Structure 1
Amino acid sequence: MEKLMQVQEVFIEETFHASIERVFNAWTDPGKLLQWYAPAGCTIRFKTLNIVTGGKFHSCISNPVHGDCWCIGEYLEVQPYIRIVFTLINADENGQPINPTTIGMDADWPGETVVTVTFSEVEKGITRLQLKQSVSQDLAKKTGAYPSWLQMLEKMRGVV
């Protein structure tokens, strides 16, 4: 008997009642990112943030229950109003990659994932956002990463 095939990547699609420019800018304006790019009850701060192709970031999401979660990454592609692709790597406060298990993450969680966000105009003033992350959707749901994306995108609605 064949096992059901696991979804091999996170896939989230949301529609926003906002222009494609406003939705894209929520991902590229540092002031706007500070308002929404952390799950409910958490905050984010950036040591480094250069949102251009080849640019890098070093961020920390602070959770009042679980503490700080540092990440680094590189923007592999930033195409205005079309797509943003970046790596997401668990790191320490100094920006050095770390094994996710050292910060209490699931042993199956990869140290690096790639996030792809695409933007498309459904009609004037309505934008479809698709987010993919190169990790099993089942694992992302189990670890809380998937619901965290949903919470963040919900917060983003208040920014666009």
Structure 2
Amino acid sequence: MRFNVQHSEVQDLPQALKEQGDPHPEFGSLFGLARLPTGHFTIRVFPAPPAAWPDLVVHDFRTQGAFLLSAVREQGATRWVRLVSEAGAPCVVRHGIAGPVEVRDARGRPLPHEDTGGGALRITLGKGGSALITARGDRPDLRIRPVKPGADAPRWGLPAS
């Protein structure tokens, strides 16, 4: 699936995907970008997942601003979010993790950040730097694994057998 979403045109990723004929509009509702007056973006992680998808995994999803996003949602709750900066820039991420959170670098050290309210954090990362966001005191399994489907569904791109 390929979409042509221009930096200057994006107000909301789900809308951009819809306008370009996204055959799976539910995918576009999993992530979003909201433009801020400063020109920075808020990366919204799982802002509106379908109720039928309580477990979700995304790995290295490229976002506006040259960030790679990985995140895991289990039993309807976001467990962890990881951002890697490819360019070295600040970002605002609305993580969706309930309660107080911890932000750590790749070595597990606390990473400076600013709570901007509403479940969003401003984090400044150098080029190649990463931030891991988890619930305070939680040490989730950070391995990326396939998610078991909740129901049978037709396979994409394969001939019917």
TM-score under structure 1 length normalisation: 0.30
Q: Which has the higher contact order (CA 8 A, sep 6+)?
A: 1
Higher helix share: 1
TM-score under structure 2 length normalisation: 0.30
